[in-house]
Structure 1
């Protein structure tokens, strides 16, 4: 079965998007025009209040592209003494005249409140006075407003509340929520939510949580949705349209949850095919990550053709990738957004610089889905040929780290926080398995441990780093330090040779050079590096720990190696070349002991055992192949040493070649300091 799958993959499975198609979608998202960037805090705000619930009520005027009547009741609890509370809210004073909401009145616990606006553009806030604050007391601030919404230019649309002639929808990430209701618009401040939307008759409204009521007359239809689970403001959404609704069910461990697909009527037949694999993806993630977090509510997918991508709104994914009547065409997108229900919605990144905790996990989950459905070969293929290659294709320059990648949205939502971060999780999985002696379940258990620690809350990168190590018992600060907090990746140049030492044994001499530039903080990487050696009667994988710019390794294997595959399962996000140096069989009684040092300053030395009278020669060549230095000796019986003077050579990289009686026994690279 594994071989059949591998052959199937090489032929590229029918219906599965090519890497180029996936990258084109990614590129479209990354190049979306955006504005309103704000300074990105790396610490959640320490607020003197806790938001408990948003109750939003809107009447949508599709003719005037406006909200006729808007009201948001914000229930909050005072934690410590404060004379005011503020909400992010973009009103008409911050944008083009006649565009933006006008606030009609503000109440605090049912009485008129003193309030004012401050800040500008996306950073606009409404401040409401609290005359007699009492820590522990629960208060309600009510904001009444109307007007045309502004749009912050979201990641997959114009952002915020979009009102069209035939459809209305919300796109919030990262700062769209403040453009249609007052809220504390940071990902760490989670609350419950209610939404009541009144729309033209004939339109259905879908929102977070559960539909509890609807009222219909000849002119207006009103829907009331309630979400009693913690949710970040950027995930609170609704959409209204003349939807057809397809129904499915996911069952797991004796529990069930309804699945709803909201699509246009003319797409409903094809949608049945497009979405038929979704319960299988929910099964895979529930098995590995823990049961779907919102079993008490629903999972919905809402087709909105106007969107340029997809968005993982809690219990309510919005997608604009089209419907094709093909179960494989967009399942990778469905799987990506579905996985966000665990990674992004249930556990939310605490600050935007931690966005990789959402997007890196979801990108990794694409490969997890393929592995669950089609087996390990397809998992590996998606990591190698789609996500890792996509990172190399579109990597940011100058290089940026995964955590806190920069102040622009192009950096925040980049291939570093998606592709590279997803591949780092794959790398973490493989390194964990290796360091724990082949334990294949510890990685998944550690993810569940981290998830459970932050259920319905938020997490920071440092939380994941600390808790993963605490659960596995591994010391991995070196791993997280180089892969999350520093930019770039290793570029390896590998040279190897093998010397026969008799009795079917071969001594392998291996040099690994890391030749990446260290500009912009790119480090020298420490990693366990798998090396797969094959030959006529040989198929073995050895792991060496590489941590230097130039490092030599020597070991003995049984059977003649004729080929080396570097890092066959792509544990490492890297670029590499391998120079094969399989040598001729050594004369009887000759055995290579060592080559070094590397790097070298004054001399490079070889030690070997040989009978008397054997001709030995050590040569150096520049990287362009020109002769640089040579020394030779006629061996004595037993231990011999031969060195080449480097003192007059310029610093740089050189190739070395060691021959005995004209037979090449070893070659490697040496860095001359």
Structure 2
């Protein structure tokens, strides 16, 4: 038999074998999980067939060579009979995968880690995946909010970004509809800080390396995870009986605008709690970074990260702190089921800026509403704005107009009852705009479909309530 014929025969046998295995698995009730959750705003992100319950991450990062090594333990529940499933992972090489302790076949296909367990996973079964991986992590150029992902800095690294960042440093089901709890362990050279989400744990040192530990026990969307590594002045305090951890670059003055802004974190969170209901997490905090590539602030859960541009005037910026803290309720505790509803995050957080400004002696919420109403381009929709406008004014400012218009329409008592019901009933979950409309109608006793249509998607200025 010629070599070409032999290769063809082997390939045909392999194809028949794979086809047979697939058909047998499907007959037995097992099939591959989907490789994309179908969200048009983030094509290719997220995976189907399972829900993640918990991530246990242990990573080691050396800024000297920009190399990260990691081990991820992902505990999940199958939502169908699974013959194989995917995790999102970009730019890092996987050396081994096990499922429930048994070696699993794996391959990497672009930003997908494809895992085939030794045996099928039954619908409803709980399973644990362990992944060992390493490499030089990279950034993600989304072109909307700005660069995200894992970015090397002069003194360390920053892992941050929306809607993408998590898959650049650990294997993940990378969509906010699949929230999970986290244990995060970060080992860095002595002298560097390694900040992340949630409650700080024991810090240990050995052989020139320090391990920082963090635990987030409330479900968290993957894009809300962060790592900030470098030379930072870390303040460990407490507020309302919970840890309050803040950090600013070590080179900034202890009395500068950055530290002064973070110093009011607890006070601002307490004010927002009077409007939105109890603060939803077990820790508070904030981190200011110095890298100018971070041109945004992000509501990373329990510990927002603020880019340097918000403090360039040298004056404290309490508005951005109020915005990111408001996200702890709107966007974090109550997360998006789909990215097209992002105004649920940004509209309410922008409105929180108006509420805080009024409380802090500045312009009233009504005055801000009047000014923004006159300046708004009504041709751009707030709901489902399109991937290129996820972070546009229509989402933020027109979203805030919608929130205040709802307040004027239903009255203060019903309005704040709606907000507190939303953050209570949807706590630790996900939601859509339709869910908000349903709740607002139930609480107010009014039909609000036409109202939301006019304020969220209408193309002409809505009639003022």
TM-score range, shorter chain: 0.7 to 0.9
Q: Distance in 2 between matches of 1:125 and 1:275?
A: 38
Partner of 1:237: 226
Once residues 350 and 309 of structure 1 are traced to their aligned partners in structure 2, the CA distance between those partners, rounded to angstroms, is: 23
Match in the other structure for 1:197: 186
Structure 1 SS opposite 2:418: helix
State the alpha-carbon separation in 2 of the partners of residues 53 and 263 from structure 1: 29
Q: Deviations over 1:180-223 (max 9, x none)?
A: 21111111100111111111110111111112222113521111
Does residue 159 (structure 1) correspond to residue 129 (structure 2)? The answer is no
1:305 aligns with 2:276: no
Equivalence for 2:99: 108
Counterpart of 1:424 in structure 2 is: 402
The 8 Å contact of residues 244 and 285 in structure 2, kept in 1 or not, is answered as yes
- Residue in structure 2 matched with residue 223 of structure 1 by the alignment: 212
Cα distance in 2 for residues equivalent to 1:140 and 1:478: 47
Superposed, 1:365-404 pairs within 5 Å as 365-374=352-361, 377-385=363-371, 387-388=372-373, 391-392=376-377, 399-404=379-384
Does the 8 Å CA contact 2:290/2:308 hold for their aligned counterparts? yes
Structural mapping, 1:10-21, within 5 Å:
none
Equivalent residue runs for 1:447-458 within 5 Å: 447-458=419-430
| Contiguous gaps of at least 5 residues in structure 2 | 1-37
Whether the 8 Å contact between 1:109 and 1:139 is mirrored in structure 2 is yes
Is there any run of 5+ residues in structure 1 with no aligned partner, and where? Answer: 1-36, 91-99, 434-439, 491-524, 530-570, 572-673
1:325 shift after superposition: 11
Tell me, in whole angstroms, the C-alpha distance in 2 between the residues paired with 1:38 and 1:469.
Answer: 27
Match of 1:318 in 2: 305
1:362 is displaced (CA, Å) by 0.5
3-state SS, counterpart of residue 216 of structure 2: strand
Residue 224 of structure 1 and its aligned partner are, at CA, apart by 1.7
How does 1:127-276 map onto structure 2 within 5 Å?
Answer: 127-130=114-117, 131-154=119-142, 157-251=146-240, 256-265=241-250, 266-270=252-256, 271-276=258-263
Give the corresponding residue for 2:57.
56
1:417-475: CA deviations, max 9, x gaps?
11111111111111112xxxxxx221011111122221101101111111111111111
Q: How far is 1:289 from its partner?
A: 0.3
Aligned 1:627-642 pairs, distance under 5 A: none
Structure 2 residue aligned with 1:405: 385
Instruction: Tell me what 1:414 maps to.
Output: 392
Return the structure number with greater relative CO, CA threshold 8 A, min gap 6: 2
Could you tell me how far apart the structure 1 residues matched to 2:432 and 2:311 are? 38
The structure with the greater share of residues assigned to helix is 2
Distance apart, 1:400 and its partner CA: 3.1
Given that 1:273 and 1:326 are in contact with CA atoms closer than 8 Å, whether structure 2 keeps it comes out as no
Give the Å deviation of 1:71: 1.5
List per-residue Cα deviations over 1:224-270 (Å, max 9, x = no partner): 2111110001111121122212355433xxxx323222012332222
- Any residues of structure 2 matched to 1:496-515 within 5 Å, and which? none
Alignment of 1:437-452 (within 5 A): 440-452=412-424
Q: TM-score, normalised by structure 1?
A: 0.59
Relative to structure 1, the CA distance from residue 360 to residue 334 in structure 2 (aligned partners, 3 Å threshold; closer, same or farther) is same
Q: TM-score, normalised by structure 2?
A: 0.84
Q: Residues of 2 paired with 1:309 and 1:41: CA distance?
A: 20
- Residue 290 of structure 1, CA deviation: 0.5
Q: Distance in 2 between matches of 1:464 and 1:328?
A: 37
Aligned to 1:643: none
- Give 1:590-629 correspondences, 5 Å limit: none
Is the contact made by 2:269 and 2:325 (CA closer than 8 Å) also made in structure 1?
yes
Structure 2 Cα separation of the partners of residues 187 and 146 of structure 1: 25
Report the Cα distance in structure 1 between the residues aligned to 2:419 and 2:65, rounded to whole angstroms: 48
Is the contact between residue 246 and residue 268 of structure 1 (CA under 8 Å) also seen in structure 2?
A: no
- The partner residue of 1:469 within 434, 441, 451 is 441
Aligned length: 421
Q: CA deviation at 1:272?
A: 4.5
Measured in 2, the distance between the counterparts of 1:183 and 1:426 equals 37
* Post-superposition offset of 1:150: 2.6
From 246, 249, 266, the equivalent of 1:279 is 266
User: Comparing both structures, which one devotes a greater share of its residues to strand?
Assistant: 1
Distance, in Å, in 2 between the alignment partners of 1:479 and 1:441 is 18
Equivalent-residue separation in structure 1 for 2:261 and 2:197 (angstroms): 23
Residue in structure 1 matched with residue 35 of structure 2 by the alignment = none
Give CA-to-partner distance per residue, 1:565-587, whole Å, 9 cap, x none.
Answer: xxxxxx5xxxxxxxxxxxxxxxx
Q: Indicate the RMSD between aligned Cα atoms, in angstroms.
A: 2.5
Secondary structure class of the residue paired with 1:166: coil
Q: Secondary structure at the match of 1:268?
A: coil
Alpha-carbon contact 1:276-1:327 (below 8 Å) kept: no
Deviations 1:505-550 (A, max 9, x none): xxxxxxxxxxxxxxxxxxxx5x4x4xxxxxxxxxxxxxxxxxxxxx
Q: Secondary structure at the match of 2:81?
A: coil
How far the C-alpha of 1:323 sits from its partner, in A, is 7.9
Equivalent residue for 2:27? none
- Residues 1:328 and 1:389: Cα distance change in structure 2 (over 3 Å): farther
